[in-house]
């Protein structure tokens, strides 16, 4: 007799670097996105949705290598043997969209978008391979006035998310300033020098995490981290390292003072002078619109790690005291940022197309707001209609429709089980009110509405079945035709009769 063949079942397991999100998390993130969208709308931006996949070459050489398209991104071959990749951010797809539709779009083209992006990188605590970004961009907008608007927009998003002055700061710098410092240090802007400059930017971007000594190692020969992994450095000489680190500490909370310091630092550098002039115009606009140093400062340590930025750059940072579950202080730091990227659309068109934008990570920002007690995550618990008699299912669904029409969340129990099991289900769902109606109540034109939350509290003081039967805690009888008014009253905390 042959043995029964064992059924091979897949193991239920979640891929590393990806996460499942609960209802509370999703609601908090959606509220944050809608708060940002309301700001973008009032600034006159329009929504756009681009696909998850782009051709790998459209994402730009600063992302995957041409001969290794899976480096940094998730890529696959299309049926025509072209490499496609999941989008790495929302900016590169925007550049492709603008180039593809350039003649039909108003300039500047002002758009906003939220959606998942994917990074084929090693996952770790709080570091996921898929996450949501929320962006606003202005393409075809030359001049620092457009950058000033983006900086103000970033500050407005922080306020829309529920933050007060003193709980956040927008920190602004200009890539042209660092270009001027590197130019004076003998680092060319093209060829091998361009890659060296990108390494410098990525090194400075780690300043808050590694400190000056760690960044100095990365600016030089390289650095080995605690795990033993080695990161190759930018190979600057000692004088260039000193000049770069000196630049990162040149800022002051007084924007005027910072500008004067920067003028002295950049000297005769053409790039450096242009960067200072742009910051001066940004400061004029910010000051005129009352975005003072309590909301926006100039900070030369801000460089942003991506290679496509060409001018002003900025980051929105949380300053509030946040603690973990054990009461230890947690530094969240930057939750979003952006800047000018004049070369991204130009890659497709061979002509200058200026652009500037702002982006924030939704999960990181929403999680920080939750820790600060600023994220309202819970919806009103649903009202549940219990099923006493399956012959009355039609009536139960009519009641549910009436409650929903009054904007009251409601469900009819459609599982299996007696009323006891239904109430246990309601407890797990966090249901506040349960509606009970059997055939006898139907004939009398009545329903019983039970406050499960209050009932559980009252039941703790009841010691006998007789007390339970006589008191029937936290429930009331109402006319069937008055169910909407009765439920609304009980949800509002009305008296239980």
pLDDT digits (tens, 9 = 90+) for 13-25: 999 989 999 988 9
Q: Are 390 and 381 in contact (CB under 8 A)?
A: no
Cα–Cα distance for residue pair 419/475, rounded to 1 Å: 15
20 or 123: which leads in pLDDT: 20
285 or 265: which leads in pLDDT: 285
Q: Are 57 and 83 in contact (CB under 8 A)?
A: yes
Q: Which CATH class is domain 383-491?
A: alpha beta
Is the confidence at residue 218, as pLDDT, over 70?
Answer: yes
Is the confidence at residue 201, as pLDDT, over 80?
Answer: no
Q: Are 135 and 113 in contact (CB under 8 A)?
A: yes
Closest CA to 302 of 179, 185, 425, 178: 178
* pLDDT attached to residue 85: 92
Is the confidence at residue 226, as pLDDT, over 80?
Answer: no
Name the residue with tokens 């942003």. 304
206-230 as b/e, with b when 16 or more CB fall inside 10 Å?
Answer: ebeebeeebbbbbbbeebeeeeeee
Closest CA to 40 of 156, 179, 190, 163: 156
Name the residue with tokens 């992994």. 229
For 304-325, what is the mean pLDDT?
Answer: 82
CATH 3.30.930.10-classified regions of the chain: 23-371
What's the whole-number average pLDDT of the chain? Answer: 85
Compute the radius of gyration of the chain from its Cα atoms. 29
CATH 3.40.50.800-classified regions of the chain: 383-491
- pLDDT digit string, tens, across residues 340-357: 999 888 888 888 899 999
What's the distance, CA 368 to chain centroid?
A: 10
81 or 478: which leads in pLDDT: 478
The number of beta carbons lying within 10 Å of the beta carbon of residue 231 is 15
* Entry pTM: 0.81
Cα–Cα distance for residue pair 74/89, rounded to 1 Å: 12
- pLDDT digit string, tens, across residues 129-185: 999 999 999 999 899 999 999 999 999 999 999 999 999 999 999 989 888 777 776
Cα–Cα distance for residue pair 341/171, rounded to 1 Å: 17
Name the residue with tokens 């409650």. 403
Is the confidence at residue 116, as pLDDT, over 60?
Answer: yes
* pLDDT attached to residue 33: 97
* pLDDT attached to residue 1: 54
Sign of the dihedral through C-alpha 461, 462, 467, 468 = positive
pLDDT band at 228 (very low <50, low <70, confident <90, very high): confident
For 240-253, what is the mean pLDDT?
Answer: 82
Q: Treating both helix axes as pointing N-terminal to C-terminal, what angle do 270-288 and 144-160 enclose, rounded to 10 degrees?
A: 50
- pLDDT digit string, tens, across residues 79-108: 888 889 999 999 999 999 999 999 999 999
For 109-119, what is the mean pLDDT?
Answer: 96
The fourth-level CATH superfamily of domain 23-371 is: Bira Bifunctional Protein; Domain 2 (3.30.930.10)
The number of beta carbons lying within 10 Å of the beta carbon of residue 294 is 11
* pLDDT attached to residue 463: 42
- pLDDT digit string, tens, across residues 397-427: 999 999 999 999 999 999 998 888 988 898 8
């Amino acid at each position: 007799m042959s043995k029964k063949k064992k059924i091979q079942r897949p193991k239920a397991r979640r891929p590393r670097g990806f996460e499942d999100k609960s209802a509370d998390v999703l609601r908090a993130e959606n509220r944050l996105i809608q708060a940002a969208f309301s700001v973008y709308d009032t600034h006159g931006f329009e929504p756009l949705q681009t696909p998850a996949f782009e051709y790998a070459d459209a994402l730009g050489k600063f992302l995957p290598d041409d001969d290794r398209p899976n480096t940094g991104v998730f890529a696959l071959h299309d049926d025509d043997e072209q490499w496609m990749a999941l989008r790495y951010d929302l900016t590169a797809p925007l550049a492709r969209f603008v180039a593809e539709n350039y003649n039909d779009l108003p300039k500047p083209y002002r758009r906003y978008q939220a959606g998942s992006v994917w990074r084929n990188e090693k996952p770790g605590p709080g570091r996921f391979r898929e996450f949501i970004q929320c962006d606003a961009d202005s393409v075809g907008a030359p001049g620092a006035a457009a950058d000033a608007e983006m900086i103000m927009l970033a500050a407005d998003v922080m306020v829309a998310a529920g933050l007060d002055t003193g709980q956040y700061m927008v920190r602004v710098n200009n890539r042209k300033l660092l270009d001027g410092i590197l130019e004076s240090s003998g680092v060319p802007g093209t060829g091998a020098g361009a890659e060296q400059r990108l390494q410098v930017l990525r090194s400075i971007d780690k300043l808050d995490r590694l400190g000056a000594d760690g960044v100095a190692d990365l600016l030089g020969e390289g650095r080995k981290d605690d795990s033993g992994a080695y990161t190759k450095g930018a190979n600057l000489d000692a004088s260039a390292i000193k000049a770069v680190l000196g630049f990162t500490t040149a800022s002051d909370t007084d924007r005027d003072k910072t500008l004067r310091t920067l003028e002295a630092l950049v000297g005769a550098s053409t790039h450096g002078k242009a960067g200072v002039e742009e910051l001066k115009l940004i400061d004029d606009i910010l000051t005129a619109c009352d975005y003072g140093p309590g909301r926006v400062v100039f900070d030369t340590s801000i460089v942003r790690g991506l290679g496509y930025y060409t001018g002003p750059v900025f980051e929105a940072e949380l300053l509030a005291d946040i603690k973990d579950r054990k009461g230890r202080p947690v530094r969240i730091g930057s939750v979003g940022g952006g800047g000018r990227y004049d070369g991204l659309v130009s890659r497709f068109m061979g002509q200058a197309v200026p652009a500037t934008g702002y982006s924030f990570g939704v999960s990181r920002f929403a999680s920080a707001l939750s820790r600060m007690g600023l994220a309202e995550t819970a919806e009103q618990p649903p009202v549940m209609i219990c099923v006493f008699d399956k012959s009355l299912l039609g009536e139960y669904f009519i009641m549910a429709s009436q409650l929903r029409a009054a904007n009251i969340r409601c469900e009819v129990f459609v599982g299996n089980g007696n009323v006891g099991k239904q109430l246990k289900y309601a407890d797990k769902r966090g249901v506040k009110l349960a509606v009970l109606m059997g055939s006898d109540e139907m004939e009398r034109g009545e329903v019983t509405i039970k406050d499960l939350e209050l009932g559980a509290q009252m039941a703790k003081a009841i010691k006998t079945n007789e007390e339970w039967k006589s008191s029937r805690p936290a429930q009331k009888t109402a006319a069937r035709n008055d169910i909407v008014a009765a439920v609304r009253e009980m949800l509002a905390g009305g008296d239980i009769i």
